[in-house]
Each structure stands twice: as structure tokens, then as C-alpha cells.
Structure 1
Amino acid sequence: MTTTSTAGRATAVAARASELSKIYGQGETRVVALDRVSVDFRQAEFTAIMGPSGSGKSTLMHCVAGLDTFSSGSVRIGDTELGSLKDKQLTKLRRDKIGFIFQAFNLLPTLTAQENITLPMDIAGRKPDAVWLDQVIQMVGLSSRLSHRPSQLSGGQQQRVAVARALAAKPEIIFGDEPTGNLDSRSGAEVLGFLRNSVRELGQTVVMVTHDPVAAAYADRVVFLADGRIVDEIHHPTADSVLDLMRSLPGSGNTSGTVPHQTAGFDGKGRTS
């Protein structure tokens, strides 16, 4: 697999899955969720993972992010092999090297936006880099909302807090599991724009699971799964190119020929208008 970025520059690998398999059950109830998947996620690149329901896309992300165990194969974050880590070591690696953005935001209701952003570092006993933290907060547009609690914020603002929390600790890689799934189109476009900017301006690495071709078009590349295997990928995706490929995948069930929803302010080429 190539190690050149979409801009043509050689880049290091932030995370790698090699011959990764995940099997549930035995005998007649045996289900192969991942079937010998090998994929690299390169530094300073935005990758979307797509596939029909049950294709293994969320399982792949959870295994690579250290949130789920795998049956065979290997996963590396940077130079660290996840399979060799004990529980405490894995917890520390997730805390120090990985950022997460979840569809349900996962903010603590009793904490302010600022306190939610710095919470992982507070738990780890680390002081945030003040300059970096300010840069992140400015980028996601939260400077005037830092003293507000989640109940005082809109859904889009809560997800901005979740994005800032994932970025604040300078993780090696950020994983997003349908990070715009609970947002309206305009708020979703804002969050995707922040993730796009974090890659372009801050050099972050982002891996996002999504079902939405419009969201996927913000990425540098899209990796497609079907039946637990990687079946294709697109570089420089557009919503239309993603949708066309999705319709051809086994189990997609999408023959309508239409994009599921159009994100406000989006030009269909991975850029905001």
C-alpha cells in the first residue's frame, strides 16, 4: 500500500491494520465481522470509512481505535502494537494518543464547555498547551461559549465541544463514529469543516465512519467495506462519486440514485461554498 498523501508527499502512517479479523460466535452462529482487513491511515490525512449496514465499518474503527478486541491480525497506532498491551497500557494509549468524537457527544452535563474540553487531560494530570488550546477553541468558534454547560448549548455547539476535546490533547489520530449523525445539515457542515481544517491547518489525522456521501466528500479519501472486507477506495471524493460506488456494493440496497441529504453550504466536491 502506498505511503504517499493526496498531495503527493511521503507521509508516515498514523494507524495500521494488518490482516485484521473479528469473529463473533461459533458454529451456526458464527459471524465474520472483519475478514483479513489490511489498511493504513496516514498522518495529516482525513479518511472516511463507508459501507452498507453490517459491512464492518464501525467494527473496523473500534478495533483500530482500541475500543474493541480483534480475533486475529494486528493493529498499530504509530509504533505501538495494540495486541501486545495490557488493559492499563491500552487505557493509557487511548488517553494519550487517540481522540474520539461520538455521535452522542458524550459531554458531562455538570461541566462547562471549557471543563469538558480539558477533561481528558485533567484526568491524566496533564496541563494543556495553552497556545494550542486557544488555537483549537478559536478554530471551532467556541470562545464566547466556554462558560456554558451542555444544556445551554445547541446540538451543533455541543459537537463543537466534542471536536475541541478530541483535538485539545494533540492526539496522534482522531476517530469519529458518525460524528454528524445527530446534527442538522448546517451544524453537520460546520463540524465537518472543523475536522477538514484540523487536518489542513493543524496537521491532524482523522478517521470517520459515516453513511452519508456528502459527509464523506469532506475527506481526502474514502475506504469502502462490504461483507467485512475492503472492496474499494476513492481519493479526492465527491458526493456523487461516493454515491455511485456505494450503489454498486453488495448489500447496499440503494437504487434511488439520490444523495441521502444535502448538507447546507456544501458544493458537492468536499468543500464548503
Structure 2
Amino acid sequence: MTTAPFDASAPRPTTTPTAASTTGLTKSYGSGDTRVVALDRVSIGFREGEFTAIMGPSGCGKSTLMHCAAGLDTADSGSVRIGTTELGALDDRQLTALRRDRIGFIFQAFNLLPTLTALENITLPLAIAGRRPDPAWLERVVTMAGLSGRLGHRPGQLSGGQQQRVAVARALVSRPAIVFGDEPTGNLDSHTGAEILGFLRDSVRELGQTVVMVTHDPVAAGYADRVVFLSDGRLVDEMARPTPERVLDRMKALGPGTPVG
């Protein structure tokens, strides 16, 4: 395994605009003998209209990278950009507004409000921002999510897969520059998880969305356009047009890793 940081933002023959990027990102926890490096000079670009999966051994820094790239956590050094906006130059109010307006989030827990209908949960971020949804876009997202007949239902009346579809639709409804998913199918059975992953893939192909997903599952990674691999806080490889078999082979080569977050 190489000891030099792998640069997943290196130029390619065809230039595609970047929805988000990190440069020289470093993050550690603790100090002295207990200091653990979660991210070690990580530079990566997430291209517009692409589905990227982040993988690596348990605790290799996958979620830490996503949280820093999404502005949910701050790094010790390095920079993070959403489009051309440098997150380190924003104050708390500006960062909150950027996360609300330009970033979508999907987590293992559906994080739906139980007293609101599916439609109200989907449009909640826009309501908080004082904005009305674009009717045509909302209908397109709802139809793609297969929720047209469920909009009046509350979360308790929906299956787990339907609740996660609501969560994904909520992430898409504001037309964010990028959607980050942290193990978005982790609480779902394999059949339902496949439906959600297919929905995310379709949002990239049909809506031009940019999606970045942290996952430990080679099958889930097989839905992505590319997979980037972390080990011990460093980017060590990437794979285009992944298949579950190729991803699993690469993961076996990386080994168990060291828990760092």
C-alpha cells in the first residue's frame, strides 16, 4: 500500500465542474500519545452529476471526510469548497445558510418529524427557509420516489423504505448542489435498500444530481459511478464503473484498518 496521499482530485482528460472538493484536509482527535489521525492530507473532488461512494475499513475516516466536506465538522487544516465557495471563509450564519440551500443530507436514521405528513416532511427545509417548492420539480421528485399516493401519510403509517424515500426526496427538493448520504441504506433490508440505491442512481442520471455516499457495503457501492477508498485516514485508490465483486476484492486488500472515526 502506498504511503503517499492519493489525490482523487487530479486533472482528467475531460474537465467536469466540481460540486464539492477538499484540499489537504487533516483532522485528528486527542493529543500526545492518544492522538489519532482521522484524515491525513486528503484531497478529493466530487464531480457534478456523478454518484461517488466512499469506502474503506471500519473506522478509516469515511464519515469524518463526509462530515468535513459537508460543513458538519471542521478540519484541523486544509480547505473545503462547495462549488467555488470556501467554507472556511464563512461565519456560522453563512455556513448554516449554505448547508440549508446547497447541500442535501441523508442518514441511516430517517430523521422525519412524526407529526408531519410525508409532503410536509419533504418540504420542511424549504418552509424553514421561507421558500416555496417549485411545483414541477416537487412533482418530479415525488413521482420518482414513488410517493405520489403516500403524501398525506405520517411516518408511522409508512414502511421503513417509504420513510427513507421521504428522506431522500427531502434532500432533493431544494435542488442542492450536492447530496451527502451516510450509510443511507444501513437500516433497511437488502430489497428495500436496493430500491433506495436505485432511486439515488436515477436522481443522478435523470435529474443531474450529485451524490456522495459513505458505505461499507460492496453491493451498495456497485450502484455508484466511482468508488474512492480510504485507509488509515488517507485516500489510497479509486475505481470507475465499480462492481460489487471488484469492490470486495479491493476492500479485502485494504485489511481491517484502525478505528479512527
TM-score range, shorter chain: over 0.9
**Structure 2 CA distance for partners of 1:208 and 1:246, relative to 1, 3 Å:** same
Equivalents in 2 of 1:90, 1:78: separation in Å?
14
Equivalents in 1 of 2:108, 2:21: separation in Å?
24
TM-score norm. by structure 1 comes to 0.90
Equivalents in 2 of 1:155, 1:48: separation in Å?
22
Equivalents in 2 of 1:190, 1:245: separation in Å?
25
What residue in structure 1 maps to residue 49 of structure 2?
Answer: 44
Equivalents in 1 of 2:30, 2:168: separation in Å?
35
Asked whether 1:113 is paired with 2:145, we answer no
Asked whether 1:211 is paired with 2:220, we answer no
What residue in structure 2 maps to residue 202 of structure 1?
Answer: 207
What residue in structure 1 maps to residue 68 of structure 2?
Answer: 63
Equivalents in 1 of 2:33, 2:100: separation in Å?
38
Q: Greater RCO between the two (CA within 8 Å, min separation 6)? A: 2
Offset, 1:252: 5.2
Gaps of 5+ in 1: 254-273
Asked whether 1:193 is paired with 2:218, we answer no
Question: Residues 135-174 of structure 1: matches in 2 within 5 Å?
Answer: 135-174=140-179
What residue in structure 2 maps to residue 87 of structure 1?
Answer: 92
Offset, 1:23: 1.1
Asked whether 1:125 is paired with 2:125, we answer no
What residue in structure 2 maps to residue 269 of structure 1?
Answer: none
Opposite residue 81 of structure 1, the aligned amino acid is E
What residue in structure 2 maps to residue 271 of structure 1?
Answer: none
| SS of alignment partner, residue 70 of structure 1 | coil
| SS of alignment partner, residue 104 of structure 1 | coil
Offset, 1:84: 1.1
Equivalents in 1 of 2:14, 2:149: separation in Å?
38
Equivalents in 1 of 2:198, 2:189: separation in Å?
14
Equivalents in 2 of 1:252, 1:2: separation in Å?
25
Q: Contact (CA 8 Å) 1:17, 1:73: kept in 2 or not?
A: yes
What residue in structure 2 maps to residue 53 of structure 1?
Answer: 58
Q: Segments of 4+ in structure 1 off by > 2 A? A: 1-4, 250-253
Instruction: Report Cα offsets for 1:137-196 as digits up to 9, x if no partner.
Output: 000100000000000000000000000000000000000000000001111001000000
Q: Contact (CA 8 Å) 2:51, 2:210: kept in 1 or not?
A: yes
Question: Which residue among 246, 249, 252 is the counterpart of 1:244?
Answer: 249
Offset, 1:251: 2.2
Equivalents in 1 of 2:184, 2:32: separation in Å?
35
Equivalents in 2 of 1:72, 1:22: separation in Å?
7
Aligned length: 250
Aligned-pair identity in percent equals 72
Gaps of 5+ in 2: 1-8
| SS of alignment partner, residue 131 of structure 2 | coil
